[in-house]
Amino acid sequence: MFDLENVVCIEGLGYDSNSYFFDDILVDTGTGINQDFLYRKLKENDIEPGDISLIVNTHCHFDHVGGNYLFPNAKVAIHKDDANTLRDDYNYGTAVDMFSQSIKRHDVDIELKENDKIGNFKVIHTPGHTPGGICLWDGETLISGDTVFANGGIGRMDIGGNYEDMKKSIDKLKSLDIKYLLPGHGSWTDKGREHIALSASNL
């Protein structure tokens, strides 16, 4: 666990993405395979799963959206360019076949776009890993999904991704004065701008 003043950070178990909670919003839900673990981590922070009103998926891959069904009271928001991929039971763009699993919830209530507001965070469209990949930015903290990771990592581009899109997205993020980088997998850091610059150098 890692707690900022306004964001609760939960490191994913196994193949699960990291999850982030602020206000009554949960960003990414993992695979849904480790329900007990995710519920326990939320409750350790006095968060009742049934009180979550909105799920924001940073992109449409199974390891980020598979747990959406665990929060039936919550609406689901995802970028408009990934929305139809999540809605389609048979769309390989979710990468669900790589996990030999199935997605149990396909509904999308809100199609996000650039500069939409999620609480105090702004949506930044960062395609490259998927067409509808997003980051969330509040002026200090970047929740980066699978666009960039700590230590110079970048999202893989062989599952519906695009190198040129990724390069443009990283260039966009380089201009931000990021302190806290909260990625979709792995460790988070309070030296975000340095790690983003390292990611850019790896492209």
Domain of 170, CATH number, reads 3.60.15.10
pLDDT digits (tens, 9 = 90+) for 18-51: 999 999 999 999 999 999 999 999 999 999 999 9
pLDDT digits (tens, 9 = 90+) for 74-107: 999 999 999 999 999 777 899 998 888 999 999 9
Residue 128, helix vs strand vs coil: coil
pLDDT digits (tens, 9 = 90+) for 105-154: 999 999 999 999 999 999 999 999 999 999 999 999 999 999 999 999 99
Q: Domain limits at 29?
A: 2-201
Q: Average pLDDT, stretch 153-166?
A: 94
Q: Which amino acid is at 195?
A: H
Q: Which amino acid is at 133?
A: G
Question: How far apart, in Å, do the first and last CA atoms of the chain sit?
Answer: 30
Q: Average pLDDT, stretch 161-187?
A: 96
The yes-or-no verdict on residue 1 having pLDDT over 50 is: no
Do β-strands 54-56 and 25-27 pair in parallel, antiparallel, or remain unpaired? parallel
* Spatial separation of the C-alpha atoms in residues 54 and 23, rounded to whole Å: 10
Q: Which residues of 41-67 are buried (b: 16+ CB within 10 A; e: fewer)?
A: bbeeeebebeebebbbbbbbbbbbbbb
The yes-or-no verdict on residue 62 having pLDDT over 80 is: yes
Query: What total number of domains does the chain contain?
Result: 1
